[in-house]
Structure 1
Amino acid sequence: MATLEECRAALGKLVEQFDEIDDESRAKHVVERTLSCRISDLDVLFYGRIHHDGLDPFHDEPPADGRPADVKLTIMSDDLIALVDGELDLARALLGGRVKIDASFGDLLRLRRLL
């Protein structure tokens, strides 16, 4: 099981990786959405926001407006690390039940093109 700090670092790396996506792809596939990432084995929740300019850093505190996230990801700590490091394929992880994403169908298609 990965530590809380390792998960924070992985989410930070994900933000950096998102910044590497070209502007054209972001403009085509990104719409503004709030995100939550539940690390199930650590029982922690991180919150973020995706938009045309990038992916904001994840925080421990929920958004002030109190609304639920548009896209909710649930994952184990080790799987988060493997996913961000490119050792775990998102599609296989979803099919195998290692990653759960609660989002609209359109958001799922957009995410698939970006990750």
Structure 2
Amino acid sequence: MATIEECRAALDRLSAKLRGTEGDLRAAAALDRSVSCHLTDLDVTFTGRMADGGIQVHETRTGPPREKAQIRLALTGDDLIALVDGDLNFAHAWGSGRVRLTAGFRDLLHLRKLL
């Protein structure tokens, strides 16, 4: 089972990947939205902001998100690491219920370019 530190490092790697995108992907990553990532197996939530082409984690809390972020992700720590490392296909994981992504319709249209 992944640790909180490993998951935080995975979010940092994801942010770096987003900042390294170009063209249409760069535009999709340039959203300015509040985000939360709830790790269901660890019962920990990272909250922050997707801005400047990356993800800035501001807080780590025990339990589910206390506030409703504009983009919300819920999954296990192992699945987060596998997604970031390219070992798990997002569409398959989302379709099978392993990953939950909640966002407004326009945000989903932008995010689908990244997934």
TM category, shorter: 0.7 to 0.9
Q: Which residue type is aligned with residue 95 of structure 1?
A: G
Considering only aligned residues, what root-mean-square deviation do their CA atoms show, in Å? 2.0
Whole-Å Cα distance in 2 between the matches of residues 28 and 97 of structure 1?
24
Cα distance per residue 1:24-76 (max 9 Å; x no partner): 5323564311100000100000012123x2213213258xxx85210110010
- TM-score normalized with structure 2 length: 0.85
TM-score, normalised on structure 1?
Answer: 0.85
Structure 1 partner of 2:16: 16
Q: Aligned residues: percent identity?
A: 47
In structure 1, C-alpha distance between the alignment counterparts of 2:38 and 2:75, rounded to whole Å:
6
SS in 1 for 2:5: helix
Q: How many residues align?
A: 111
In structure 2, how many angstroms separate the alpha carbons of the residues matched to 1:61 and 1:85? 21
Q: 8 Å contact 1:2–1:77 — kept in the other structure? A: yes
Task: Verify the 8 A CA contact 1:36 1:72 in the aligned structure 2.
Answer: yes
Alignment of 1:36-75 (within 5 A): 36-51=36-51, 53-61=52-60, 68-75=68-75
| Alignment match, 1:90 | 90
Shift of 1:11: 0.6
Shift of 1:3: 0.8
Consecutive unaligned residues of structure 1, counting only runs of 5 or more, are none
Unmatched segments (≥5 aa) in structure 2: none
Shift of 1:99: 0.3
